[in-house]
Amino acid sequence: MNHRGSSTLILGANGQLGRALRRLLPQADFASRAEIDVRDPRLDSSRDWGRYDTVINAAAYTNVDHAETAEGHGRDPRRQFSC
């Protein structure tokens, strides 16, 4: 991750959108999933978020077929949910 005194942080830096943003915003700080996992419940305490004026979440789950399953939704397929 770079630290050039930027006030913008882009998450998902190694994904398709993150790589495109690197070209458009080279002065920003970038973090890959290995550095900051947006699914981590300790995310709020994992970084000094006050250091950034802007955080762009470019992280994405791109396994569409899996995402559309109950497992991909993080639900037990045997449980019934009501809205």
One-letter amino acid identity for 72? Answer: G
Report the pLDDT value the prediction gives residue 6, as an integer from 0 to 100.
Answer: 53
Mean pLDDT of residues grouped by 10 in the chain (83 residues)?
68 93 95 89 87 91 77 57 41
- 12's CB contacts (< 8 A; 6+ apart) are 18, 32, 33, 38, 57, 58, 59, 60
Nearest to 60 by CA among 14, 27, 23: 14
The arrangement of strands across the sheet holding 8-11 comes to 29-31, 8-11, 54-57
Q: What is the DSSP letter of 46?
A: S
Domain segments of the chain as ranges: 8-67
Q: What is the pTM of this model?
A: 0.67
